[in-house]
């Protein structure tokens, strides 16, 4: 892994584009913490597309930094936010663990547009939503365990009515639950 990100390797892969900023972040997912390398264009507006990047190495070797040349250029030229995922590697974490890391990261990063779009509505602000979630879902609890989207089946549960308000910051959450139900991902009782 170090070879792919060493100074010598930079001679082969090239230096990152100076028009993009690179920062390292972590993301907490259920049962694991992953490292992300975030590439942002230096002079772009707040609304950018997201590109999720997975480094090479056959799920056995490599690191997000090895793609800095490519990812920084994508960020600067698209412009977009390019996030490279430091997924778990085999043999310690064989497939499907790396794929799950990518999927879970994408779901966490893309979020729900209604939160930002309806931030000024009479409902809860994004800061209030984060506070309420922090207070109602303890850190020790996997937040996915309280979402009906994560259940394999809703058999045995009482019927439910999901109502989404057009200006509700969490409208996308409700719409996603309805779509999952209609697509057969959730099975009614």
Same domain, yes or no: 12 and 105: yes
Same domain, yes or no: 3 and 44: yes
**Closest by Cα among 173, 180, 179 to 152:** 180
Reduced to 3 states (helix: H, G, I; strand: E, B; else coil), residue 133 is: helix
Instruction: Mark which of 110, 127, 161 sits at the end of a domain.
Output: 110
Q: Are 66 and 56 in contact (CB under 8 A)?
A: yes
Least confident of 15-24, 112-121, 122-131, 140-149: 140-149
- Sort strands 32-41 and 49-53 into parallel, antiparallel or unpaired: unpaired
Q: Which pLDDT value is given to residue 92? A: 96
Same domain, yes or no: 84 and 141: no
**Closest by Cα among 57, 60, 53, 55 to 95:** 60
Note down the domain range covering 135.
112-189
Query: Residue range 146-166: average pLDDT?
Result: 71
Instruction: Mark which of 58, 88, 110 sits at the end of a domain.
Output: 110
Number of domains in the chain: 2
Q: What are phi and psi of 83, to 5 degrees?
A: -115, 120
Same domain, yes or no: 11 and 27: yes
Same domain, yes or no: 189 and 119: yes
If you search the block for the tokens 């996030």, which residue do you land on?
83
Q: Measure CA 136 to chain center.
A: 22
Q: What CATH number is associated with residue 63?
A: 3.40.50.1820
Same domain, yes or no: 1 and 74: yes
Same domain, yes or no: 158 and 98: no
pLDDT band at 130 (very low <50, low <70, confident <90, very high): confident
Q: Does pTM surpass 0.85?
A: no
Angstrom distance (rounded) from CA 20 to CA 39:
6
Q: Are 17 and 75 in contact (CB under 8 A)?
A: yes
Same domain, yes or no: 89 and 142: no
Same domain, yes or no: 96 and 119: no
Instruction: Mark which of 110, 131, 156 sits at the end of a domain.
Output: 110
If you search the block for the tokens 């264009």, which residue do you land on?
41
If you search the block for the tokens 């082969």, which residue do you land on?
12
Whole-number mean pLDDT of the chain?
82
């Amino acid at each position: 892994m170090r070879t792919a990100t060493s100074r010598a390797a930079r001679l082969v892969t090239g230096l990152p584009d100076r028009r993009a900023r690179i920062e390292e972040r972590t993301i907490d997912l259920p049962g694991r913490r992953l490292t992300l390398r975030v590439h942002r264009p230096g002079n772009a507006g707040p609304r950018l597309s997201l590109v999720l990047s997975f480094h090479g190495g056959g799920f056995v070797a490599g690191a997000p930094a090895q793609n800095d040349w490519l990812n920084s250029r994508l960020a600067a030229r698209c412009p977009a936010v390019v996030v490279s995922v430091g997924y778990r590697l085999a043999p310690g974490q064989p497939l499907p663990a790396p794929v799950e890391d990518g999927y879970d990261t994408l779901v966490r990063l893309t979020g729900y547009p209604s939160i930002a779009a309806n931030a000024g509505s009479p409902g809860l602000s994004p800061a209030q939503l984060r506070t309420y979630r922090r207070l109602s879902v303890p850190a020790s609890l996997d937040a996915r365990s309280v979402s009906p989207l994560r259940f394999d089946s809703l058999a045995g549960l009482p019927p439910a009515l999901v109502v989404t308000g057009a200006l509700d910051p969490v409208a996308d959450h409700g719409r996603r639950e309805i779509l999952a139900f209609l697509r057969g991902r959730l099975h009614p009782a």
